[in-house]
A and B are shown apart, each in its own frame.
Chain A
């Protein structure tokens, strides 16, 4: 594995993903603010949460970049369309499995079963994150496809 290329392309891809999701929010495609959602794992304070969430998202992006690159290496293939396919699969996993598990793993998220309490006051995303806007899945699929495409395009195999 070419670690330098993995980390650099992972950084660029994560920035692109964050930018696309923020743009989607700005244009009203989704209400989801990913840095805020992630940052509230650490603090309920809105502005701090967004900052922490942004940093955490970069770190998570790197972790996923390593996974993507590991698949590229295993398949001896790294290009934009293969990266996009991985991204779409990743998005599907996030939207179904990740979002449904969110109330269970997020320490500040309420659930439909229990409602909000003193510690858990955040709206859960619901199936496919539809609680955050009916077009949220589109944004998430698009952002992850671009994430994968950038990784697939920028990653260089060792010695290449």
Chain B
């Protein structure tokens, strides 16, 4: 058997994700689980080969000889199927973390479980199974103990892991291995569980395992098929919604940015960050995606989480939180890990937690406003929190901050942050005028809102460039300026927005339709910015055909499983950054929704006043 170091690094796009809305695992094309953190997303990994092939730990079930590999998710489900085929035979590996509720009150449910099943569908295939768990992100091997027919047990701290396998595994130096030939009609079954409470639940590997897979598929499909979007990009939209669901933390309603840490934004570079936390920056776009796909309870849970989890710091907001609303951990480097393809350091925790980012106030307020405009109720506590945010913005909107992209440099007067401060006061005034918010100092909010508008129009507009610019009185561009229309500050079809768009495309665009987020760093193009562009076109910044054309171009960059990372390498089309990325999938859903709404003559983005163009659409539609 080949040592793990001989395995080449998979591309980031070669990973699929499975999860149970509390934790997630990444499975490579060759059937190796290279990333798994239990019991929740931000806990230490037991498999971390994603970040170090030699010492990270993995669980591989793959053919002993070269094969062709095809993968897919079961339709509208987060159940991954990998088909290995060579001249000798063909077998399908099914991977999932069961997320379905227990079907009967007489059944046990493990706290966390990964099910893996190999079914040989033709001929015979020789498989290698290698299970190499490691404690604390590959820091040390684990002692694997055999417990007869119960399976193999490992203990880390207060948690116990059990691996059950239908084939005998040989324990050797912290790993368990087997080499086995499966023939047509034969099945191998595995159950890997984790619990911090004894007695653990150990699942039988009989026919009931198939029932559990079927139940999980049915559970996901029921959820996926609730999506109300019925446009031509339905497959992409539902897959993106399923990714968002996987990245949500069911016990609290939070949504993390990505399930991984330190996948590089530049191969071999040091732009490696831990994204296993919840960024308020994503709030408004995420709520919009959930609401307009019909996922009301998820949107409500997410809003509840935002307003409850941030209670300790209100009226001030941090830019990121843990899934329970705690401060994200202090950033530290795991020096013993090589990093993905040598991209060091590997970081856990995130130092951005201490940054000032004024846009988050607008994000949270806009998310709440969207919820209310769609018929949701803002209770007294929510209203008090929102007014607290508004009062904070009134006092602080003129401060420099780190801005949406969180550069680790001196604060500046970011246009995007001003835009979101304007948004927060505008939404609060609107909510108050519509009787959805009481006790608002509405005139004060309007006065400051108008002052912010005045400042943006005068100081964020560069006459020479004929474009809005990244920072006040500056001369650099930023793709986030496309959001001036999204938040309703400026109509997409206005002369200023059109010329800003032209400038952004010229200076930040690539010939293949991708966009860099700004001009400062050498990194990949930023995937969500391209979806913002498609949405900007759909909102009236261009024609419907242009929006479709760009959207179709962008979906070429998704993985074979429909997943996106944070960035796209403009040269190779490879995914960069943490994977899969909620923000990018939110962007895809948003663009698809706006395109569809324009096609159908429907009102776009109900969180802002209707634009002239939209009034036109509505009239045409009626």
A108 close to B (CB within 8 Å) = yes
Q: Is A124 an interface residue (CB 8 A)?
A: yes
Encode contact with A along B161-195: 1 for CB under 8 Å, 0 otherwise: 01010000000000000000000000000000001
Asked if A96 is an interface residue, CB under 8 A from chain B, the answer is: no
Contact, CB under 8 Å: B198 / A131: yes
Q: Is B4 an interface residue (CB 8 A)?
A: no
B142-150, B470-478, B529-537: which lies at the A interface?
A: B142-150
Q: Which residues of B sit under 8 angstroms from A30, Cβ to Cβ?
A: 198
Docked Cα-Cα span, A110 to B203, in Å, equals: 10
Contact B148 A36 (CB under 8 A): no
Closest to B200 in A: A123
Check if A116 sits within 8 Å of B199, measured CB to CB.
no
> Are B148 and A115 neighbours in the complex by a CB distance under 8 Å?
yes
Q: Is the CB of A110 within 8 A of B150?
A: yes
A132 within 8 A of B: yes
Of B105, B164, B197, the residue contacting A44 (CB under 8 A) is: B105
CA–CA, A110 and B164, complex, Å: 13
A121 to B198, CA, bound (A): 12
* Chain B contact patch, size range: 20 to 34
Across-interface contacts of A112 in B (CB, < 8 A) = 147-150
Tell me whether B556 is interfacial, beta carbon within 8 Å. Answer: no
Tell me which of A45, A116, A125, A132 contacts B202 (CB under 8 A). Answer: A116
Nearest A residue to B201 by beta-carbon distance?
A121
Residue contact A133 to B158, C-beta cutoff 8 Å: yes
Cβ–Cβ contact A132 & B199, under 8 A: yes
Q: A112-B149, A118-B208, A133-B158 are in contact. Are A124 and B199 (CB under 8 A)?
A: yes
Q: Is A76 an interface residue (CB 8 A)?
A: no
Contact B158 A46 (CB under 8 A): no
Q: Is the CB of B149 within 8 A of A43?
A: no
Query: Smallest CB–CB gap between B57 and chain A, Å?
Result: 22
Which of A25, A114, A118, A122 has a CB less than 8 Å from the CB of B200?
A122
Complex interface residues of chain A between 31 and 81 (CB less than 8 A to chain B): 31-33, 36-37, 40, 43-46
In the bound complex, residues from chain B placing their C-beta under 8 Å from that of A45 are 102, 105
Establish whether residues A31 and B149, one from each chain, have CB atoms under 8 Å apart when the complex forms.
no
For the complex formed, measure the closest distance between the CB of A25 and the CB atoms of chain B, giving whole angstroms. Answer: 7
Name which of B102, B148, B201 has the most chain A CB atoms within 10 A of its CB: B201
Judge whether B195 and A31 touch: CB under 8 Å: yes
Contact of A19 with B by CB under 8 A: no
Verify B108–A125 contact, CB threshold 8 A. no
A111 to B102 alpha-carbon distance, docked (Å): 23
Question: Of the candidates B149, B155, B198, B202, which one forms a contact with A113 in the assembled complex, judged by CB atoms under 8 Å apart?
Answer: B149
CA distance A28 to B148 in the complex (A): 26
Q: Give CA–CA (A46, B150) in the complex, Å.
A: 21
Q: Which residue numbers of A lie inside 8 Å of B, CB to CB? A: 25, 28, 30-33, 36-37, 40, 43-46, 108-118, 121-126, 131-134
A-B contact pairs, 11 of them (CB 8 A): A44-B108, A45-B102, A46-B109, A110-B149, A111-B150, A115-B151, A115-B204, A116-B204, A121-B202, A122-B199, A123-B150
